[in-house]
Amino acid sequence: MSDVRHVLVLPDRDAAEEAAEELGEAFGITERPQLVRDALAGEDDAEDAQWLVVVEDPAGRLPAGELDEFAARWDGWREEP
């Protein structure tokens, strides 16, 4: 199976950091997810940014539906690849 990367889109940095911490406990992830600031097009203000939580899933074992529900706890969502 090829490597899988899940991207959770969250509304702010606090939500992204909290979700990244809880991912390990909720899904047994041992490697800390990468956090990436994603500025909205044309916006310079840091308040107008979404945060991405990038989760590597080389074994393809993380269930997409459960990740959707997980991200929704912070008013976020999982991007489809």
Measured between alpha carbons, how far is residue 27 from residues 41, 65, 67 in Å?
32, 12, 9
Task: Determine the pLDDT at residue 1.
Answer: 47
Classify each residue of 24-63 as buried b or exposed e, where b means 16 or more C-beta atoms within 10 Å of its C-beta: eeebebeeebeeeeeeeeeeeeeeebbbbbebebeeeebe
Q: List pLDDT tens digits, range 50-64.
A: 999 999 998 888 999
Structure tokens, 50: 């979404």
Rounded to the nearest integer, the mean pLDDT of the chain is 87
Tokens of 44: 């310079």
pLDDT score, position 48:
62
> Which tens digit of pLDDT belongs to each residue from 18-32?
999 999 899 988 888
Number of compact structural domains in the chain: 1
Examine the pLDDT at 47 and tell me if it is beyond 70.
no
Section 25-48 average pLDDT = 78
CATH code of the domain in which 35 resides? 3.30.70.3450
Which residues span the domain enclosing 38?
Answer: 4-79
Residue whose pair of structure tokens reads 């945060």 in the numeric block? 51
